[in-house]
Each structure stands twice: as structure tokens, then as C-alpha cells.
Amino acid sequence: MFINIALIGVAALWLFVHMSVKHRFRELQTKLPSVYQTAIAVPPNDDALPQLIALSIDLVRKEHCAVPFDALSKQEKRIALHAHAVEELPAWMIGYAILRLSAADRALVQQLRQVKTSRPTKTKMHFGAIRQQQQLRSTSKS
């Protein structure tokens, strides 16, 4: 009896996780053409970090290119979607979603995840009471 209830609970949890990941990827799929166009069309600044979507297409084609979204193959669109997901979604969702990819595509998405995590984090600028508190802490330490 207890095992049946536990199995039902696990199945319900898996179904909830699966449907939420599927829903988030569907939202990203609708935004993908416009996000891809801006990632390809806008040249990066010297200090700007490269867009993962453009980087993913370059890695798939093994050359630097600026191809329109409609000219991408189905595999390239799938990789671009996962690259956009790496930038937008939590890590556990990407980890769950890449289970369905081929080994080569999974390795490519893992590389994109490593690129994202190795990027330097921007320092947060605080204002008002938080900044004053930080200044008080720094003066009391020295």
C-alpha cells in the first residue's frame, strides 16, 4: 500500500516537472526567431560577452556565420533553442531537457553551459540604505 502511494507520488512529481519544462521550452520556442535575429544582427561590443545562440550555430557549422533563422536546419534550430534555454532557464531544467538529445548535441549544450558558468559576474550596484550599510561595514572592518 505504501509503495503504491509512493510510486503515485513520484509519478505525479515527474509529470509536474516534465510539463513545466515542456511549457517553458514552448515559451522559448515562440520567442526564438526574434531572439536569434537580435543575437546575429547586433555586433558584440569589445567588452560584451558573446551571445550563446550565435556561438552555438558557429559551433554546429564549425565556422563563423550569420545565417537567417529560416535558413537553419532542424538540428541547428534545436541547438539554438537549447542555447537560449541555457541563458534563460535554471540549470536543472536544461539538465532534464538535454537527456533527449543525441550525444554530440548533449556535449555541445554542456559546452555552452560551461561557457555561461565561466563568465565573470557583474558586481551589483546598491543604492540608498543598502549602500550605506555596506559603507558602514567596510569602515568598521578597517
Tell me what the mean pLDDT of segment 106-125 comes to.
Answer: 83
Portion of the chain with pLDDT greater than 70, in percent: 87
**pLDDT value for 23:** 94
pLDDT mean over 99-117: 90
- C-alpha distances (whole Å) from 53 to each of 6, 97, 102, 120 are 41, 17, 18, 18
What's residue 11's pLDDT?
94
Convert the pLDDT of each residue in 41-95 to its tens digit: 766 654 555 678 888 888 888 888 788 888 888 988 999 999 999 988 898 999 9
Q: Across residues 9-37, what is the average pLDDT?
A: 92
Please, what is the average pLDDT of the chain? 84
Among 134, 116, 114, 109, CA closest to 124: 134
Which residue has better confidence, 103 or 38? 103
According to DSSP, residue 47 is labeled: S
Q: Name the least confident of 28-32, 55-59, 111-115, 131-135.
A: 131-135
Q: What is the pLDDT of residue 17?
A: 92
Confirm if 35 and 82 have CB atoms less than 8 A apart: no
86 in Cβ contact with 120 (< 8 Å): no
Residue 46's pLDDT is 47
